[in-house]
Structure 1
Amino acid sequence: MSRIIDLSKTIEYNKKDPWFMRIKVENKAHRKSKFLIRFFVGLPVRLFPSKFIGWADDTILGMGVHSSTHIDAPWHYSETVNGKKAKTIDEVPLEWLYGEGIVIDMSHKADFDIITIDDIQADLKKSGAEIAPGKIVLIKTGRSKVQGEDYINKGTGMSKEATEWLIERGIKVMGIDQWGFDLPLRYMAAKAKETSNSELFWQAHLVGQKHEYLHMEQLVNLEALPPFGFKVAVFPLKIKGASAAPARVVAIFDN
């Protein structure tokens, strides 16, 4: 029997989230459907089945496709990849989204200290995990428990070179347990202005202009995983033309 570890955040309202990330779930009680059943469906209450008081229903409000645990499609990074139209989330082959998993431990990296090729190679040497085409790489930063404004304003992030290094070795899908895959947005913007370097901002994402790849953001529970020896399933909602989609990401251990 397989053991499954959930790597996804619960979709719920959290007042500590930045305003643009706050999700509202409106839960509708069973009894509220009585009117619908009686007048829309046309079934009188006297013909309701025994002990049936109606059905529960729920509505999700204010949830963008990047609001919680999600996977970005190539379309998010750029309109094209090497001159060809970038895939939206509904166009991504499902075969890419299931495979052997690897955890790369970057939890020792300080806020704003970018992840390099040397960092990744050193951790692989330490853990014994091996990069191979089709595997799914998870970057553990330890930032999944951070709350409030610090969640979006602090953290490490992947460099352009480290992202390219993984892609060149056949990795199509990777992910991270912090708000974004890059260094924090405001930090990148400030450094770009400070240095007048136009290549600093969103460097890991923009690798997608030349290389077709996907990454997950806002993963959780990576500390519960070993460096290898499990599979990862990342099945996003099939949203037509979308740049990303919420996903229930899980790690699967086959006994």
Structure 2
Amino acid sequence: MRIIDLSKTIFENPNDPFFMKVKINQKIHKKAKWIIRLFGLPFKLFPNEFQGWADDQIKRLGVHASTHLDAPYHYGPISEGKKAKTIDEVPLEWCYGEGVVIDMSYKADFEPISAQDIEIFLEKHAIVIKPMMIVLIKTGRDKYIYDKDYYKKGTGMTADATLYLINKGVKVMGIDQWGWDLPLPYQIEQAKKTNNKNLFWEAHLVGVNHEYCHMEQLVNLDALPYTGFKVACFPLKIKGGSAGPARVVAFLD
């Protein structure tokens, strides 16, 4: 079995925009010696090999700043007429299952992904979407993931494409670009230009009436076949959280 890492590396990247800044305080070994001394262990009783322990403190990490799973609560406080699930309430059964890659890497920046696009791909490759599969949308934009303009690039799922997968019984889906919808600055620009309030966040907002989760900022989907693998995407259990950073991996037999 091979395990493929589909997760972004978390570090203090100077190219990250202000709303995604990460701050990590990394303590080297020798600093920990003084902490142990304060706990009451005399220096003379330190093991000869003990140089102190390394320690790290994440001082700032937005739940949407890394590879993450969005909870239904992210899209709105209500989903399917009831309180939307927060990330700690998402069933773990949703987070492991048979995976499918849908290749939309031919799509240009700002060209949306429709339900018809997905249907054509599935028919061409004789792929059948089954309930509880985890569907991964490949755009190829993960190659920009550490670049300054990463969040400004990409295609994006439409409401009808998202609903198409939900109607097939899919509870978790993901994408290898910054967001699930078209790039945020482009959405805002187009909404203002057309004075159309329905253009903004259309795919996310499907979750208000149809309960589902999606992952954003995946990487390495190029390393996967279209079918024949399993996906695990367990998020951090953050009480009341709108999302959870996740170590997403694929298992290939």
Cross-structure match for 1:144 = 142
Out of 20-29 and 210-219, give the one that drifted further: 20-29
Query: Secondary structure of the equivalent of 1:4?
Result: strand
Query: Secondary structure of the equivalent of 2:251?
Result: strand
- Aligned amino acid, residue 179 of structure 2: G
TM-score scaled by structure 2? 0.97
Within-5 A mapping of 1:77-116: 77-116=75-114
State the superposition RMSD in angstroms: 1.0
Q: Matched residues in 2 for 1:184 and 1:46: separation?
A: 59
CA contact (8 A) 1:18 1:148 kept: no
Out of 135-144 and 120-129, give the one that drifted further: 120-129
Alignment match of 2:59 (pick from 44, 47, 61): 61
Cross-structure match for 1:213 = 212
The answer to whether 1:246 aligns with 2:245 is yes
Out of 216-225 and 57-66, give the one that drifted further: 57-66
Cross-structure match for 2:230 = 231
Out of 100-109 and 184-193, give the one that drifted further: 184-193
Out of 146-155 and 236-245, give the one that drifted further: 146-155
Aligned-pair identity (%): 64
Q: Matched residues in 2 for 1:169 and 1:104: separation?
A: 14
Q: Matched residues in 2 for 1:48 and 1:94: separation?
A: 43
The answer to whether 1:75 aligns with 2:112 is no
Q: Matched residues in 2 for 1:225 and 1:129: separation?
A: 15
Q: Deviations over 1:95-147 (max 9, x none)?
A: 00000000000000001100001110111122232201010000000001114
1:216 deviates by 0.2
**Stretches of structure 2 lacking an aligned partner (at least 5 in a row):** none
- Aligned amino acid, residue 52 of structure 1: F
CA contact (8 A) 1:157 1:184 kept: yes
Q: Matched residues in 1 for 2:49 and 2:80: separation?
A: 60
- Aligned amino acid, residue 203 of structure 1: E
Q: Deviations over 1:3-56 (max 9, x none)?
A: 1000001111111221221212221011101111112x2000111123112111
Q: Matched residues in 2 for 1:27 and 1:193: separation?
A: 43
- Aligned amino acid, residue 161 of structure 1: D
Cross-structure match for 1:184 = 183
1:226 deviates by 0.5
Q: Deviations over 1:130-172 (max 9, x none)?
A: 2010100000000011143421112100000000010011000
Within-5 A mapping of 1:35-54: 35-39=34-38, 41-54=39-52
Cross-structure match for 1:14 = 13
Query: Secondary structure of the equivalent of 2:248?
Result: strand
Q: Matched residues in 2 for 1:235 and 1:125: separation?
A: 30
What number of residue pairs does the alignment pair up?
Answer: 252
TM-score scaled by structure 1? 0.96
Q: Matched residues in 1 for 2:207 and 2:25: separation?
A: 36
CA contact (8 A) 1:160 1:204 kept: yes
- Aligned amino acid, residue 216 of structure 2: E
- Aligned amino acid, residue 98 of structure 2: E
Q: Matched residues in 2 for 1:157 and 1:117: separation?
A: 12
Query: Secondary structure of the equivalent of 1:145?
Result: helix
Within-5 A mapping of 1:116-135: 116-135=114-133
Q: Matched residues in 2 for 1:90 and 1:145: separation?
A: 31
Within-5 A mapping of 1:22-33: 22-33=21-32
Cross-structure match for 1:164 = 163
